Amino acid sequence: MAKYVFGVDIGGTTVKIGLFTAEGTMVDKWEITTRTDEGGKYILGDIAASIEDKLAEKQIDKSEVKGIGMGVPGPVKADGTVLRCVNLGWGIFNAADELSKIIGLPVKVGNDANMAALGEMWQGGGKGFSNIVMVTLGTGVGGGIVLDGKIVKGTHGAAGEIGHMSVVYDETATCNCGKKGCLEQVASATGIVKEAKKFLAADDTPSTLRNIDGFTAKDVFDEAKKGDDISLKTVNRLGEYLGIALGHIACVIDPDVFIIGGGVSKAGDFLIDTIEKYYVEKTYHQCRKTPIKLATLGNSAGIYGAAKLVISE
């Protein structure tokens, strides 16, 4: 009887690995370096070796392991084929089959943002719900949608690309994706700094941000909490656009809960309250009470979700 599962989250610099019981308790968690040289050809071998070491250390037999779930930073097809992971140097190949061949255990692969959403639904901010939308506010804006407990992947693997919803109609700058006006351009950590700089350049309004060299998104939130006008304007702007985006999403899929994660979410209830203020105005009346909650698993969400992927399928 399989008692354990592994959850793996491959990032551009580190691979996070977790050992879980089938009930969802984390037994151990560790990291190895992601070797991206030579087209990332060592990555899967390194993961297999690290998992073999852990099995030996914990005296767990492979017959007790249900399988390995793995999140990768890029689009993934249902059969485990990764389409292109630029950060890892990977081209197109079946990562699930490849790792399974090396280690002799079943392997499932998914996109990392989707894994984080699944993890938060299983053991995080969305625990107890089966329809959740997660938005990750980091360097970019990512997203993941879980409906009836299953990840929505979409025809092109692009479901949940919430960061690239067009919401800012008067945006003149171009997003990393090539469009103009994406949510990511105002609601990512980079976007927040850029927006604050625009407000600062517009006139001579006094602002404590002017005294902080190379200020970050965190500084903008900290100063907003102290009442700085420009910082408050910036936070309100991202709250408004997030409110619009979540309002649209609610009209389409009416989820149980929205989960907000990523580095920017460390701003806490102040961020949630600002989003909610606009969300309530922008969505359909029946969705106005849908809770918007903070993610709780931090950067472990991906390994929880990857483990869950093995358990539920």
* CA gap 232, 173 in Å, rounded: 22
Does residue 162 interact with Zn ion by CB under 5 A? no
Q: What sign has the CA pseudo-torsion 206, 207, 211, 213?
A: negative
Does residue 92 interact with Zn ion by CB under 5 A? no
Task: Identify the residue among 48, 175, 272, 303 touching Zn ion (CB under 5 A).
Answer: 175
Q: Which has the closest alpha carbon to 72: 42, 114, 36?
A: 114
Does residue 86 interact with Zn ion by CB under 5 A? no
Does residue 245 interact with Zn ion by CB under 5 A? no
Collect all residues with Cβ–Cβ distance below 8 Å to 313 and sequence separation of at least 6: 108
What binding mask, one character per residue, do residues 47-76 give for Zn ion by CB under 5 A, x or -? Answer: ------------------------------
Task: Dig out the tokens for 147 from the structure.
Answer: 């409906």
Task: Identify the residue among 86, 92, 173, 177 touching Zn ion (CB under 5 A).
Answer: 177
Strand-pairing partners, residue 6, are: 19, 68
Number of residues that bind Zn ion (CB under 5 A): 5
Does residue 187 interact with Zn ion by CB under 5 A? no
Does residue 182 interact with Zn ion by CB under 5 A? yes
Collect all residues with Cβ–Cβ distance below 8 Å to 283 and sequence separation of at least 6: 246, 247, 248, 250, 251, 290
Q: Which stretch binds Zn ion (CB under 5 A): 47-55, 70-78, 181-189, 245-253?
A: 181-189
Q: How far is CA 30 from CA 14, 293, 298, in A?
A: 10, 27, 15
Does residue 141 interact with Zn ion by CB under 5 A? no
Does residue 164 interact with Zn ion by CB under 5 A? yes
Applying CB under 5 A, which residues contact Zn ion?
A: 164, 175, 177, 179, 182
